[in-house]
A and B are shown apart, each in its own frame.
Chain A
């Protein structure tokens, strides 16, 4: 079983602050995805990273895939209240079809 550990589990910050969420595993993943989930809704894909060392930027969000493809991070610059939500990382195993999710990081950005 491939386990993904996310940290921190909870994060409450003020608008304008920066933050980083981590996703770690002892397993190698063929790709890793980050999702954002709001209450009462399903997760929505933010980004997919495939190559070790890859960095992708999505406006104020920066995603990085570790060189060994075992870990990833999400950095948010100048957080806004609209960034509030549950951030989930999900790794695709060598078989490529079964996503294993972390427990998520619940982010609250206070105005």
Chain B
């Protein structure tokens, strides 16, 4: 498909485990964003990539969270030592413009930490 693809769509893990969430953006989009959405809340900014580099990672809640985009396309959000409070839907979005162009969101990865 031509849209943003996120895998897995659902992930259930135990507290303390390591998790990776993958985002495949729209081909050619240089900007990639990760957001986290908790129940009843709007999306919360985590990190923004322009190409391969993280232009702004100020939204990552702590050092257990890390994201990479080694070739400027696919991105992986990595969460170490998961906690119950990490449970949320993790949304990825891409844009052809780095600055307030339309964001195209994936369907999200729902993470549940037991």
Q: Are B100 and A103 in contact (CB under 8 A)?
A: no
Instruction: Decide if A88 is an interface residue (CB 8 Å cutoff).
Output: yes
Q: Given A42-B4, A42-B93, are A97 and B98 also a contact pair (CB < 8 Å)?
A: yes
Partner of B100, one of A6, A40, A41, A92: A92
Q: Does A45 contact B (CB under 8 A)?
A: yes
- Given the known interface contacts A41-B107, A42-B108, A43-B105, the answer about A100 and B45 at a Cβ–Cβ threshold of 8 Å is yes
Contact between A103 and B56, CB atoms less than 8 A apart? no
- B44 and A97 contact, CB distance less than 8 A: no
Residues of B in contact with A, size category: 20 to 34
Known A30-B100, A96-B99, A96-B100: A42·B56 in contact at CB below 8 Å:
no
Contact A48 B100 (CB under 8 A): yes
Q: Are A42 and B45 in contact (CB under 8 A)?
A: no
Are A97 and B100 CB-contacts (below 8 A) given A88-B43, A103-B42?
yes
A108 at the interface (CB under 8 A from B): no
Chain A residues 5-28 with CB under 8 Å of chain B are 6
Cα of A65 to Cα of B100 in the assembled complex, Å: 16
C-alpha gap A29/B60 in the complex (Å)? 22
Flag if B40 contacts A31 (CB, 8 Å): no
Q: Which of B42, B48, B55, B59 contacts A104 (CB 8 A)?
A: B42
Residues of B within 8 A of A30 (CB): 100
Q: Is B19 positioned at the interface, with any CB of A under 8 Å from its CB?
A: no
**Interface mask (A64-93 → B, CB under 8 Å = 1, otherwise 0):** 000000000000000000000000101010
Give the residues in chain A near B4, CB-CB below 8 Å: 42
Between A31, A33, A42, A88, the greatest number of chain B beta carbons within 10 A of the residue's beta carbon is seen for: A42
The answer, yes or no, to whether A101 is at the interface (CB within 8 Å) is yes
What are some 7 contacts across the A-B interface (CB < 8 A)? Answer: A33-B100, A44-B105, A88-B42, A97-B31, A97-B56, A98-B59, A101-B43
